[in-house]
Amino acid sequence: MHVPWPAALRQLRQIDVRPVILAAAIVGALVIAAVGLSRPPDDRIAQEPAAAASPSGPAAVAGSTRRTASPRPIPAPSASAAPSASAAPSASAAPSPTPVPTGPAVARVEVEQATIRSWTDPFGEVRAQIIVSVTNGGTAAASLPRSGTAYRVMSRDGTVVALGRFAHVFPTVVGPDETAWFIDTLSATLANQSELADVEVALVTGDPGPAESRAVPLSVSDLAWREGSDGGISVTGTVRNYGRETVPRAEVGVILLADDGSPLGVVYDVSSVRDLAPGETSAFTTAYPGTAPIDPAEVAQTVAIAIPRE
């Protein structure tokens, strides 16, 4: 049937075209989405700059540049975000040990024990033996000069009964943490034995000389003791030269000690050991200069020292 043109327009006006338009829009959107998903994101990113740079590309023909939104990469933590080496404690941060001040070695010799042993000899004479031990608590050796250290014997009321200087010291050089013994024997002609109660010491020390520092090492062994004819002690022993030089003369001192370490008496020999060659030995026997009466069984310890003399 032929419908005149004006009538056809009137019929079209009466038709509701909105559903058709809506459906067409939905279909178009689906097509666009399908095309976009079918293309890999990397291809879109790689092609878009090329299309924008080339005027002959599709974007140039269309007169527009399509920008495809892509996920923004999450920035990785930079090296500066990590703790730097300077933040960690360095070796220099640890406290360094406080330096111990060092100085020259110094001797520190002090009197350890001063003993006076008195007795009356067979001739009725009052005699006394002064025995003083000293210890070096310093860091250097000290020389103990013969006759340098003085003493005085006191009564119980503080009266000075006798004065003197030590004639012998064993050894003459005392090293750190070592002990030396000063010895002297006197006759107290004008004093009673009971008056010899105490002794005071004026200690003198010095620096070892070259000869003292090079002293030949000597040892004392094979000690034996017995009661002497005057009630004192007689001692025998052997001296050995461990050095490399001949010793012209040697003095030997033997200190006899009780159980508690207190001195009972001292004997020494100044003439028996002579011209002692390296490696050789020499025997000695002495009761000089005499001791207070001592029971040999009371002797619990001995200290024997030999020192070379010119």
Same domain, 122 and 200: yes
Question: Is residue 89, in this structure, part of any structural domain at all?
Answer: no
- Compute the C-alpha angle 272/278/283, nearest 5°: 25
pLDDT in the model for residue 82: 43
Same domain, 207 and 227: no
pLDDT in the model for residue 9: 44
pLDDT in the model for residue 96: 54
Same domain, 137 and 231: no
- When divided into structural domains, the chain yields a total of 2
Question: 171: which 2 tokens?
Answer: 């050894």
Question: Is residue 150, in this structure, part of any structural domain at all?
Answer: yes
**At which of 170, 189, 214 does a domain end?**
214
pLDDT below 70 — which residues of the chain? 1-103
pLDDT in the model for residue 59: 36
* Total residues belonging to the chain: 310
Question: Is residue 66, in this structure, part of any structural domain at all?
Answer: no
- Compute the C-alpha angle 272/273/276, nearest 5°: 155
pLDDT in the model for residue 102: 60
Same domain, 251 and 175: no
**At which of 163, 197, 214 does a domain end?**
214
Same domain, 162 and 123: yes
Same domain, 146 and 226: no
Question: Is residue 20, in this structure, part of any structural domain at all?
Answer: no
Cβ–Cβ under 8 Å, residues 215 and 247? no
Question: Is cis: bond before 77, omega within 30 of 0?
Answer: no
Same domain, 253 and 223: yes
Tell me how far apart the alpha carbons of residues 200 and 111 are, in angstroms, rounded to a whole number: 10
Question: Is residue 16, in this structure, part of any structural domain at all?
Answer: no
Same domain, 189 and 286: no
Question: 161: which 2 tokens?
Answer: 């009964």
Phi-psi domain of 63 (left: phi exceeds 0; alpha: psi -120 through 50; beta: other): left
Tell me the per-residue pLDDT of 164-223, one tens digit each, with 9 for 90 and over: 999 999 999 999 999 999 999 998 877 788 889 999 999 999 999 887 777 889 999 999
Same domain, 186 and 134: yes
Same domain, 244 and 203: no
Cβ–Cβ under 8 Å, residues 184 and 211? no
Q: How far is CA 259 from CA 102, 134, 245, 256, 267, in A?
A: 40, 19, 38, 10, 18
Question: Is residue 269, in this structure, part of any structural domain at all?
Answer: yes
Tell me the CATH number at 262. Answer: 2.60.40.10
Question: 39: which 2 tokens?
Answer: 């293309």
CA 112 to chain centre: 28
Same domain, 237 and 289: yes
Same domain, 199 and 267: no
Task: List, in sequence order, the alpha helices (H) in 39-145.
Answer: 41-53, 58-62
**At which of 192, 214, 236 does a domain end?**
214
Domain that includes residue 305, residue range: 216-310
